[in-house]
Chains A and B, each alone.
Chain A
Amino acid sequence: MTAPPERNAAEPDGVLGPGWPGWVLRAAVVAVGAAVAGVLSANGVALLVLGLYLVLVGVAAAIPASAASALAIAYPAAAVVLAGGPPVRPGVLALVVLLHLLHVLCGYAALLPARSRVHPFALKKPAVRFLSVQLAVLTLAGMITLLPVSRTAPAVEVVGLLAAVGLVVAAVLLMRRKG
């Protein structure tokens, strides 16, 4: 039995409607980038660095399939680590949401030319998946705040190191297989 087709963006007379303009996704990339810049500013990042970041966000919005998108995600992460402070704080939690959103938005914006139409109902599944992932990660963050802060046992360190190496190897193998 096949699933019934989803309700689409049809107008009342059954014809495909115009939807939203395609630049909405790129504008969302800029908006999320600006929000990230605001979070970084609140964490004491210098204005010059913020200016460079906004340029990077602009390039990512213009060319979402470029390396600028990756830099626009890695840049704030590095800035937050360098800024120091408690590991789980409001700024970090905001960046967890915003950087993930930036990654997803850049991924979808790269699929479409600037002069295209986006039908909002198409983004329902991705939105549900985004919220599920965020729920899981924020739950993890909540659990981390509950854990006691103490020195890690050497055995755990070794296991962690092996797990990290395994993760990297798995990622490399995955990339080679998909590529």
Chain B
Amino acid sequence: MSRAERVREAFTGGRGARWHPTDALVRGVGLGVGMVVLGALLHRVELVLLGAPLLVSTLVALVSPVGGTPSVRVRALPRIGEVGSTRATVELDGGEGAELMAVRLPDGREEGVGPVHLLPASAGAVTVALRRDTWGQGAALRPDHLVAGPDGLLVHGPVTAPELGRTTLPPVRPLPAGLLPARPLGLVGAHRARRPGDSVELRDIRAFQPGDRLRRVDWRVSLRAGALHVREHHAEADADVLLALDTRLDVTAEVADWTATGRAVTVRPGGSLDLAVTAAASLAAGYLRQGDRVALADLGRPQLGVRAGVGRRQLLRLRTGLVRCARSAGWAPKPVLHVPHGALVVVLSPFLDAPVVELTVHAARRGNAVLAVDVLPGPLTPDPETPWGPGAARIVELEHEVRLEAMRRHGVVVVRWDGGGAPLAGALRLAARPGRRVVR
């Protein structure tokens, strides 16, 4: 056995990965023999009778030989899935003479790797329900096992099995389709472009120029004006959408928890990162459904971004990317964002610091349509353990409002994410109005 194999064995095999006797064997043999012999020596039949079952059952259990290497294999485990319940199959092989297996398996009622189940070693394949109520990466199965012979006199294990993870994708909330500011790229798609094209939406009526098609001539206007005029239509185009996720902060409405450490989860349920990821997944699904190209950028870790793409596979790629970003979330002093020209930029952040606001405004001043999605949970609950709690929370709220107002003044559409699409749809409708211009 090589060194690597020995190290792997030490980590995955556990200390008890061999057949060895238990206390029950010692008890059965010791008390059985002891009581029978003592009863015989002292001529006390009751002692013999009391010791006989222990001795006989121990001998009966030991008659059947146990051996081999038990194994537990997991098959049909979906590595990526949605929030909810799914199934996996676990194959149990207890080895020769094994009677019982104690295997750690999920019971479908709680999240996690589940409790230890006592099953017969001859159970074969067992189907288990895996349940996840929250998105993210987590352990789905860790089939630690212990195999026991008859009456538990000889056991193999306990063996600590390797953990099998599963990625649960963030949920997608339905959003109204078609609402998007007119800032597209390309010449095909679902959105009205500024340039002339072949859609049915009228852009202008102008004098005929060489090269114009005859079918575009507006005869009524031409007769009235005495010269040929043509009807010019808008083009329809796909949009490039960049979802910029601020993973540097993850805060809840409880201000006292903002500095809490040692939490077991990577993302606080109901926190700003949870809301931002859900909003990003929902927006991505909405835009991809109407044929747009959607990309993902992590403001804290730019290398974790996802390139722009279209289609259902891109949605899967983006949702997986969101989970990866959330797993690596952590504070970074300076957010980084590379904005493609002409793209709609959606910044999802709690906007609790100035750099992210500066970055958002900078994107708007470059000429991009920018949508700021505020994911700060609210209203904020002050820290009850300090008299400064209400004051501190109020200052945070006021600073937050000032930042949002500053972005509005620079032409950034600011909208608060409440888990649904209504405010977002309203804001996008406003942003899509033809008269709206960005302050440069």
Contacts and interface: CB of A to CB of B under 8 A. Distances in A.
A27 interface: no
A111 B152 contact: yes
Contacts of A92: 46, 49-50
B69 interface: no
Interface stretch (B105-113, B262-270, B418-426): B105-113
Interface in A30-76: 65-66, 69-70, 73-74
Contact of A129 (B34, B108, B151): B151
Contacts of A178: 20-21, 25, 154
A4 B35 CA distance: 41
B118 A96 contact: no
Contacts of A116: 102, 115-118
A108 B150 CA distance: 10
B118 A122 contact: yes
Contacts of A164: 36-37, 40-41
Given A6-B123, A112-B118, A171 B129 contact: no
Q: Interface centre among A16, A65, A171, A178, by most B CB within 10 Å?
A: A16
A16 B61 contact: no
A6 to B, nearest CB: 5
A47 B263 CA distance: 51
Given A10-B127, A16-B127, A140-B52, A161 B115 contact: no
B24 A107 contact: yes
Interface in A106-125: 106-108, 110-113, 115-119, 121-125
Contact of B122 (A5, A19, A140): A5
Contacts, number: 213
Nearest to A19: B117
B177 interface: no
A28 interface: no
Interface string A146-176: 0000001000000011011001100100110
Nearest to B33: A171
A3 B122 contact: yes
B30 interface: yes
Interface residues of A, number: 73
B129 A15 contact: yes
A160 B36 CA distance: 11
B56 A136 contact: yes
Interface string A72-115: 01100100110000011000110111011001101110111101
Contacts of A6: 120, 122-124
A47 B150 CA distance: 37
Q: Interface centre among A14, A161, A178, by most B CB within 10 Å?
A: A178
A103 B31 CA distance: 10
B54 A100 contact: yes
A8 B53 contact: no
B40 to A, nearest CB: 5
Contacts of A130: 57
B117 A119 contact: yes
B109 A106 contact: no
Nearest to B87: A15
A78 to B, nearest CB: 9
A25 to B, nearest CB: 9
B164 interface: no
Given A16-B128, A18-B107, A119 B119 contact: yes
B120 A124 contact: yes
Contacts of A66: 23
B79 interface: no
Given A80-B50, A129-B61, A137-B53, A103 B29 contact: no
Given A15-B129, A171-B30, A134 B36 contact: no
B406 interface: no
Contact of B60 (A10, A112, A129, A152): A129
A125 to B, nearest CB: 6
A179 interface: yes
Contacts of A22: 115-116, 118
Nearest to A164: B37
B431 interface: no
Contacts of A15: 87, 108, 127-129
A122 B100 contact: yes
B337 interface: no
B99 to A, nearest CB: 6
B125 interface: yes
Contacts of B20: 178-179
Given A125-B120, A174-B29, A167 B37 contact: yes
A7 B107 CA distance: 18
Given A92-B46, A111-B148, A116-B117, A179 B21 contact: yes
5 contacts: A6-B122, A65-B22, A96-B53, A119-B117, A126-B151
7 closest A-B pairs by CB: A5-B124, A107-B24, A87-B45, A100-B53, A116-B116, A107-B152, A164-B37
Interface of B: 20-31, 33-37, 40-47, 49-54, 56-57, 60-62, 87, 99-100, 102, 105, 107-109, 115-120, 122-129, 146, 148, 150-155
Interface of A: 3, 5-6, 8-10, 14-19, 22, 65-66, 69-70, 73-74, 77, 80-81, 87-88, 92-93, 95-97, 99-100, 103-104, 106-108, 110-113, 115-119, 121-126, 129-130, 132-134, 136-137, 140-141, 144, 152, 160-161, 163-164, 167-168, 171, 174-175, 178-179
Given A100-B57, A164-B37, A174-B62, 16 more contacts: A9-B119, A15-B129, A16-B105, A18-B109, A70-B31, A77-B47, A81-B44, A103-B54, A111-B22, A119-B117, A119-B120, A122-B118, A124-B120, A133-B53, A167-B33, A171-B33
